[in-house]
Each structure stands twice: as C-alpha cells, then as structure tokens.
Amino acid sequence: MTEKYDAIVIGGGHNSLVAACYLAKENKKVLLLERNPTLGGATASVYAFDGVAAKLSRYSYLVALLPDQIRSDLELNFETISRTVSSYTPARDSGILVNRVFDDISRNSISNFTKNETDSVSWEKFYDRIAVFAKKVAPTMLEPLPTTSQIRSLVGEDLWQEFVETPLCKTLDKYFVDDVIKGIVLTDGLIGTFASACDKAANICFLYHLIGNGTGEWKVPKGGMGKLVEELTAKAGNLGVEIRTETAVTSVIDKGNEVEVSTESEKFVARVVLAGCSPRTLSKMSSIPAPKLLDGSQLKINMVLSSLPELKSGIDPRIAFAGTFHINESLSQLETAYEQSKAGKIPDQIPAEMYCHTLTDRSILSSELQSSEIQTLTVFVLHTPASLFENNHDQVKAEITEKVLSGLNNYLKEPIEGFLLRDSSGKPCIEVKTPQELEAEIDLPRGNIFHGDLEFPWKGDDETIKWGSETISPRIFIAGAGARRGGGVSGIAGHNAARAALERLAKSS
C-alpha cells in the first residue's frame, strides 16, 4: 500500500521548509523531498575551500524580506545584524560613503562627491517616500493578495504614480543630478533582474528590495545564511515532517482526488502538493504550465582573504567593505553594460557589488580564524546573463571573472589576487558561479535567482487568485520563489502556499 500524506513538499529550499513547518504545526502529515544531498537550495552555507574553516553563504547573503512574523510563528533562533555602513562607492578618484543611518558623514560625502547640494537632500527625501510605501505594503505580504486598486488607494496617488507607474529611470532623473548617485539607487532595481532602468521589471525589483519588513534594511544573517536552514530543519524535524534528501521528484500527477508524486524508484500520494522547486521545473514533471522568464544575469564570486586590501581613496577598508561596495555602477555604466550584454557582448565595464560578511559577523569563522586578519568577500556581478555563457562557458567565465577583479583592482593599492588565502592544496580561495552552474547545482532556471520574473506584490482587480500560490490544479501550489510575492530569502511564498493548502485541506476533509 502506498502511504498517503496530507501534503508533499517538493524541494528543500527555505520556502519549502517554511511551508512544511506551517503545515505540520496544523498537525498535517508532511513529506518533503529534496533532490540534493543537503537542504537549503539558494540559502545554503558551505565550507567552500579545503582546510579553510570559513562557512560561506554560498549563494544568497543578506536578509531583508523575511517577515518577523515567520520568525516568531516558527520560533526560529535566527538573528540578523544591522550593518553600520549602507554602501561605499569608489569613483572619480574619490568615493561616496552612505551610512545606514543617513547622517552628516553621508550627507557631506554625497555633497563633496557630487559638488552639488541637490543630491544629498534628494537622497533623504527619496528614501523617506519609499519608506512610506514600504510601511504600507509590507504588512500585506502574509495576507491574501490585495488588488491593484486596494494598494493604489492604500499608498495614495502620488506614491503610486512615482514608484509604480513612472519608469524608475525617469524618477531617478527627477530626483538626482549625478550619474553615480543615480546608479547607486538604481542597483536595487537590478539585483537578480536583467533589465534596463527604464523597464517595468526594474520598478518591480526595486520595490521588492525596499519593502522588506517595512524598512527594506538589508541585514547580515548571523552565522551565515545556512543558519536559517539549520533552524528551519530542526523545527520541521520537531514538528514531525518526514524529510528525504537525494530524492528527486520526476512526476506529479493530479488524479482528481489526490496527487501522485513519483521519483525514479518510488511513488507517493498526497491530498495536496506544494512545489518549492521553480515553476519551470514543476512544468517539466506535470501538466502545470510555467510562465516565460528572463535569464538569470549574475555571477557570484566568493573569496576568503588573508586580510583586507587598502584602497587608493584612502578610506579605511573596514568601513568601505562593511556595507555594499559598488563597482562600475553609475547609471550610464549600468545601462551600457545592459545593452552590451543584451547584444551578446561581454560588457566593457562590468558592474558588481560586494560586501564582507566577517566585518559584521565573525561567527562564520572557526575560533582560530576569528582572531586572525582573515576576511570573506562576496561579489554579486550584474548584467552577465546566461546567454553570454552559452558558447565557451569556461572561457567566458574566466574572462568575466578577470574583468570583475580588475574592475575592483582599479580602486585598490595592490591587486586583490595577492590577498587570496590558499586552501590546503595551495589553491587560491576563490569560487565563481555562473547562471548555468546555479542551474546545475540548485536548479535555478537559467540561473534566475527568483525562479522566475518578479511581479508586483498585488493582483489585478479582476484576477481571482487568493494567495498567489495557485496553479491550474486545485491540489498543487507553488511554494517557492516563483510564486507571486516569492523571490528572495523571505519564506513568504512558503507561508502563503501553506495557507492556501490548509484551506484546500479543510475543504476536502
């Protein structure tokens, strides 16, 4: 006899684990199946280099979108730490330092760099306005999807026009004068989204990056991103979720009153299925269609350094690398890079941003390394879409990596290569992940870090969906980043799919 579950969750990313926990909390019998040997998907932490006791957040690295409510509902012992520095951007032989709390240092830094008074004043005004938007929209994320009209009246016509209807490129032009300042602001609209500043996709991505918990503050996960996975896995275990790793689902069939889930060697049956894998993966193993999606367009570089390099601008590297360190990210550099890579060319100047986890949290290092000068550096490279790597993958990867590092070296007194720690076999501690490698390792379709293209976190006035997890089958739900309001480390998609599934289970019991 095939054992019957209330719910089967496909995938072991953080959203799947969140969904499984919420279902099990309601005494549902839950089976979670992950194809990889370890759980976590894009939230995994790993010892990436032989003999180096530094546990790196291999893929995702900062947290803003995870609602406090999920942490408290699931009693997760997962802390996130504020960074003192928001960003440092070296450019034009000096640089711009913006602290998390916008203070006189930030104000003066912007004014000295831009040689105008407008941009620092506009900076505060702009972020105050988006903060009002964020505070109103954030509380809706764990509720049934609001409609466009509801959100429009909630935020008011002015904010709606400014952040939803007007292309981001125009809003940036309205507020700011300096090309570099515009670019710093714009980057939140491009992380994980291959778009121009004038595309609607940039507006959507921008809002996502700024609404988390009503503040949009990006914080450092204490102990690394994998700590979230550890906490969720322990919780799921305590709640009785059955977890199987190295178990890839190959087919999902809605049989009318139950769903049959198969792997290479086994069949399972459940009343509902929650797919924490991408919609594209689900579509390959079921009759559920998946929307088209943009190429993932980022390269992720992880490094361990023997110490931090000095900067030509003279700023203390412990300050410069503590926040987000932008390279080649002025508005015009970002737009040129986008156009070049869209045309199939490796950008002349590759935009990238990086940060040093260990300046805020040294607990990812062994106690021996904690007392050394060793630091980690993680780089998120923009506008390097999967299509660029289609031919000569390894050669393109090497060329882009070299270009990114030399872009950084432009601002350093000595090249970064000389600061790379060596692993136990003498190899430098640097790893690079292309979109194709992200797909092979953790099944991100075309390397798209959000499983699909983000949509605004509300629904059309005439849409009938309730949670944003629904599919054409009443028994199959999207529980991963590809759900409406999914994307990023948030657990929101998992929570909302669990709510939708619980409603379905209540109806059919």
For residues 109 and 302, which CB has a smaller minimum distance to ligand FAD in the complex? Answer: 302
Within 10 A of 399 (CB to CB), how many other CB atoms are there? 13
Query: In whole angstroms, how close is the CB of 58 to ligand FAD at the nearest point?
Result: 8
Mapping DSSP onto H, E and C, the string for 389-455 reads HCCCHHHHHHHHHHHHHHHHHCCECCCHHHHECECCCCCECEEEECHHHHHHHHCCHHHCCCCCCCC
* Of 6, 34, 329, 455, the one binding ligand FAD by CB under 6 A: 34
Q: Which stretch binds ligand FAD (CB under 6 A): 60-68, 104-112, 324-332, 498-506?
A: 60-68
Contacts 24+ apart (CB under 8 A), 396-400: 396/346, 397/299, 397/432, 397/434, 399/346, 400/299, 400/346, 400/350
* Least distance in angstroms from the C-beta of 218 to ligand FAD: 7
279 in contact with ligand FAD (CB under 6 A):
no
Q: Does 41 bind ligand FAD (CB under 6 A)?
A: yes
CB closer to ligand FAD out of 67 and 175: 67
By CB under 6 A, the residues from 286 to 305 that bind ligand FAD are 298, 300
**In this structure, what are the phi and psi dihedrals at residue 91, rounded to the nearest 5 degrees?**
-165, 155
Residue 132 and residue 210: Cα distance in Å, rounded?
11
Span of 12-20, 83-91, 139-147, 387-395 interacting with ligand FAD by CB under 6 A:
12-20
Decide whether 91 or 272 has the Cβ nearer to ligand FAD: 272
Q: Can residue 14 be called a binding residue for ligand FAD (CB under 6 A)?
A: yes
Closer residue to ligand FAD (CB): 15 or 109? 15
| Residue 90 binding ligand FAD, by CB under 6 A | no
Is residue 7 near ligand FAD by the rule CB under 6 A?
no
Among 121, 177, 248, 346, binds ligand FAD (CB under 6 A): 248
Looking up tokens 């412990």 gives 318
For the record, the structure tokens of 25 come out as: 């909390």
Widest pairwise Cα distance in the chain: 75
What does the alpha-carbon distance between residue 395 and residue 400 come to, in Å, rounded to a whole number?
9
Q: Does 13 bind ligand FAD (CB under 6 A)?
A: yes
Least distance between ligand FAD and beta carbon 302 (Å): 9
In the complex with ligand FAD, the residue whose CB is nearer, 120 or 298, is: 298
- For residue 60, give the nearest of 18, 21, 10, 13 by alpha carbon: 13
Nearest distance from C-beta of residue 434 to ligand FAD, angstroms: 10
For ligand FAD, which residue of 7, 16, 28, 78 counts as binding (CB under 6 A)? 16
65 contacts ligand FAD (rule: CB under 6 A): yes
Q: Which stretch binds ligand FAD (CB under 6 A): 1-9, 10-18, 369-377, 390-398?
A: 10-18
Of residues 308, 302, 300, 310, the one with CA closest to residue 428 = 302
Whichever of 91 and 337 has its CB closer to ligand FAD, that residue is 337
| Residue among 478, 225, 234 at smallest CA distance from 361 | 225
- Structure tokens belonging to residue 366: 């062994």
Which range, of 29-37, 161-169, 182-190, 454-462, touches ligand FAD by CB under 6 A?
Answer: 29-37
Binding mask 471-490 for ligand FAD (x = CB under 6 A): ---------xx-----xxx-
Question: Does residue 389 come out as left (phi exceeding 0), alpha (psi in the -120 to 50 range) or beta?
Answer: alpha
Q: Which helix (H) or strand (E) holds 353?
A: strand 352-355
Residue 502 and residue 489: Cα distance in Å, rounded? 23
Using CB under 6 A, which of the segments 88-96, 148-156, 158-166, 438-446 binds ligand FAD?
Answer: 438-446
Q: Which two tokens stand for residue 74?
A: 């699931």
Question: Residue 34 or residue 453: which is nearer to ligand FAD going by CB?
Answer: 34
Three-state DSSP class for residue 135:
helix
Tell me which residues in 448-467 interact with ligand FAD (CB under 6 A).
Answer: 449-450
CB under 8 Å to 1, separation ≥6 — which residues?
none
| CB 137, min distance to ligand FAD, A | 17
| Single residue of 168, 374, 442, 501 touching ligand FAD by CB under 6 A | 442
How near is the Cβ of 409 to ligand FAD at its closest, in Å?
Answer: 22
Shortest Å, Cβ 225 to ligand FAD = 8
Place of tokens 């269609």: 289
CA–CA distance, 21 with 300 (Å, rounded to integer): 30
Q: Which residues contact 95 (CB under 8 A, 6 or more apart)?
A: 88, 89, 109, 113, 311, 313, 315, 320, 411
How many residues form the binding site for ligand FAD (CB under 6 A)?
38
- To the nearest 10 degrees (0 to 180), the angle between helices 14-25 and 492-508 is 40
Among residues 8, 33, 91, 145, the one that binds ligand FAD under rule CB under 6 A = 33
Check residue 364 for interaction with ligand FAD (CB under 6 A): no
CB nearer to ligand FAD: pick between 7 and 493:
493
Q: Which residue type, as a one-letter code, is found at position 114?
A: T
Interacting residue ranges for ligand FAD, rule: CB under 6 A: 10-16, 33-36, 41-43, 59-62, 65, 248-249, 276-277, 281, 298, 300, 438, 442-444, 449-450, 480-481, 487-489, 493
